[in-house]
């Protein structure tokens, strides 16, 4: 069973609280998403392997630890997952970025695919699938299905807010995937929105409502 890690660092909690507020502007919402992505990436990359490398400082040669050429892939679930990409890339600028386009059918709440473009060596990469919201878990599970169908194996899911229902579904459908979240909320409402949540993440990031 995949583990669930709640990143309860005070800075992350404070910024998520600001994102939840209904009167937070689109500009501030987007900026907060970028900042939280950076903070979460810092935590999520804690176990990346290092290797000892010899370098020259202005004073002498010395051995230092550097990242062991671990190839990462960041895969946002469109649209809202895009809000995480820049923040993560500012910490791991060599990561490749894939895109999976999914939207939830408003009636059935089932994910509908419209786009998928992944790095071609996806099977070799450590993959972070990013999406701010894990509600029913349908979108995250479908996105990870597509990645696995194309050879991706080493996968972590990262989101801001998760409902217990979404965590259960994702753990059952993808028991090999660890889940990193900033907050676990109470439940879903009758429209499958997270309560208390932050509303529609895509609309709030891009000002479309």
Q: Which residues bind ligand URA (CB under 6 A)?
A: 80, 133, 135, 193-194, 197, 200-202
Give Rg (Cα) of the chain.
18
How many angstroms separate the CA atoms of 158 and 141, rounded? 12
Tell me which of 76, 87, 98, 202 binds ligand PRP, using CB under 6 A: 202
Footprint (CB under 6 A) of ligand PRP, residues 30-89: 77-80
194: partner contacted, choices ligand URA, ligand PRP, none (Cβ within 5-8 A by kind): ligand URA
Among 143, 137, 33, 115, smallest CA distance to 80 is for 33
Q: Which is nearer to ligand URA, 51 or 168 (CB)?
A: 168
Q: Which is nearer to ligand URA, 80 or 155 (CB)?
A: 80
Tell me which of 45, 126, 139, 156 binds ligand PRP, using CB under 6 A: 139
Residue 147 · residue 76 · CB < 8 Å = no
119: partner contacted, choices ligand URA, ligand PRP, none (Cβ within 5-8 A by kind): none
Site for ligand PRP (CB under 6 A): how many residues? 24
């Amino acid at each position: 069973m995949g583990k669930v890690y709640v990143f309860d660092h005070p800075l992350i909690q404070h910024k998520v609280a600001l994102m939840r507020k209904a009167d937070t502007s689109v500009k501030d919402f987007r900026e907060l998403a970028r900042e939280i992505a950076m903070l979460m990436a810092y935590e999520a990359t804690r176990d990346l392997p290092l290797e000892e490398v010899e370098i020259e400082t202005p004073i002498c040669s010395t051995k230092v630890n550097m990242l062991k050429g671990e190839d990462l892939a960041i895969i946002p679930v469109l649209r809202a997952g895009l809000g995480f990409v820049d923040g993560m890339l500012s910490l791991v600028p060599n990561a490749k970025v894939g895109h999976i386009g999914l939207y939830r059918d408003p009636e059935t709440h089932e994910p509908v695919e419209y786009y998928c473009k992944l790095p071609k060596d996806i099977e070799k990469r450590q993959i972070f699938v990013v999406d701010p919201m894990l509600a029913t878990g349908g979108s995250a599970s479908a996105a990870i299905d597509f990645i696995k169908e194309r050879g991706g194996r080493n996968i972590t899911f990262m989101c801001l807010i998760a409902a217990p229902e979404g965590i259960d579904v994702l753990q059952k459908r993808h028991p090999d995937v660890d889940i990193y979240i900033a907050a676990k909320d109470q439940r879903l409402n009758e429209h499958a929105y997270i309560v208390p949540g932050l509303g529609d993440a895509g609309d709030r990031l891009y000002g479309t409502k």
